[in-house]
Amino acid sequence: MLPFIRVADIQLGPLPIHTFGLLVATGVILGTSLTLRRARERGLDVDALNSFITWMLVCGFVIAHVFNDVFYEWKVVKEDPLRLLRIWESISSFGGFLGGFIGVMAWKYFEAVPWFKVLPGLTMHKLRLRKKPVPVFPFCDLILSVFPVAWIFGRAGCTTAHDHIGAVAPQGTAIAVEAPYEDFHKLMGRYEGPPWIKFEHGPFARYDLGLLEFLFTIGLSAFIVLTWRRKLPTGTYVAVTCLAYAPVRYVMDAFRLSENDNRFADRTPAQWMCIALFAAGLVAAYAAYKYGKSGKDPMEVFRLSDEERRAQQPG
């Protein structure tokens, strides 16, 4: 069995640095950096990609919080409606996926243009309908070629926060953790330390779904990184990520605690989303097959000339 990992927050003077938030931020920064690097290597429009990522991340984090509160914490929201506005308090991974998709589709049809200067160096922008919708599939594929690597850090955050404690496991189960307490509320409680990191061994076997997904994501990332130097049809990474993640997450959610997670027609919100995600993966796989067979590459829409590439070089 696996040890139960405890990680305390980092205290920077009077300011506590939450390990979960630090790991999520690291994943976002690393994922963005790797995506931009891969775009530059392919001579793509980095300015357009930066705009795409901004829309995706902003909508992703906002909807991640709202989705979590509506589908998982509604009883708390009814007692404290202002919780919906405190987007830093809780997030849902599938809420983030849904929000990212909404942001991407909004970027497809709208653009932010300068409106007026508030201060030197600070300009207000307004939204304007694009003259022609911009294709989003190429950038989605580029991002998903990197996303699993960044997702490792997000699920490492869940592993340290223990916010996905699952069902009781048979004693001796290799992929279960040796929980020190039977009460899952205590398992999900914050660890204060010292030491900063602690490996506990207890008599209660539990599935820690954040840890299991963390381990799965490491394997998926290793597979994807090995393909980075190969020329694959656009859509391949969307297909692989969706088709690999959806069934694994669907099965994992079957082990979520009914006391801690709502069910809708006997399925968690994430399981319903997994069905949609798997369908999206099938569509992406078909599109990648068609692009590979025809030799057409939709990524060409964002390909820059040599002069335009030099203009976008940092520094």
Residue 70, Cβ density class (10 Å: 0-12 exposed, 13-18 middle, ≥19 buried): middle
Q: List pLDDT tens digits, range 131-157.
A: 999 999 999 999 999 999 999 999 999
Kindly state the tokens that stand for 34. 């790797």
Q: Report d(CA 55, CA 58) in Å as an integer.
A: 5
* pLDDT score, position 121: 78
Q: Report d(CA 257, CA 254) in Å as an integer.
A: 8
Long-range contacts formed by 289-297: CB under 8 A, 24+ apart: 289/233, 291/233, 291/234, 291/235, 292/233, 297/233, 297/234
Report field, pTM of the whole predicted structure over 0.85: yes
* pLDDT score, position 315: 60
* pLDDT score, position 309: 79
Give the position of tokens 């996905």.
164
Q: Report d(CA 104, CA 28) in Å as an integer.
A: 16
Nearest residue to 64 (alpha-carbon basis) of 9, 103, 108, 109? 103
* pLDDT score, position 59: 96
**Per-residue pLDDT tens listing for the chain (315 residues):** 999 999 988 878 777 788 898 999 999 999 999 999 999 999 999 999 999 999 999 999 999 999 999 998 888 899 999 999 888 888 899 999 999 999 999 999 999 888 888 888 788 888 999 999 999 999 999 999 999 999 999 999 999 989 899 999 999 899 999 999 899 889 988 888 788 899 999 999 999 999 999 999 999 999 999 999 999 999 999 999 999 999 999 999 999 988 777 888 999 999 999 999 999 999 999 999 999 999 999 999 999 887 777 778 766
Long-range contacts formed by 27-31: CB under 8 A, 24+ apart: 27/150, 27/151, 27/152, 27/153, 27/154, 27/157, 28/57, 28/150, 30/149, 30/150, 30/153, 31/143, 31/146, 31/147, 31/149, 31/150
* pLDDT score, position 189: 87
| CA dihedral (229, 230, 234, 235) positive or negative | negative
Nearest residue to 191 (alpha-carbon basis) of 10, 27, 68, 26? 10
* pLDDT score, position 119: 81
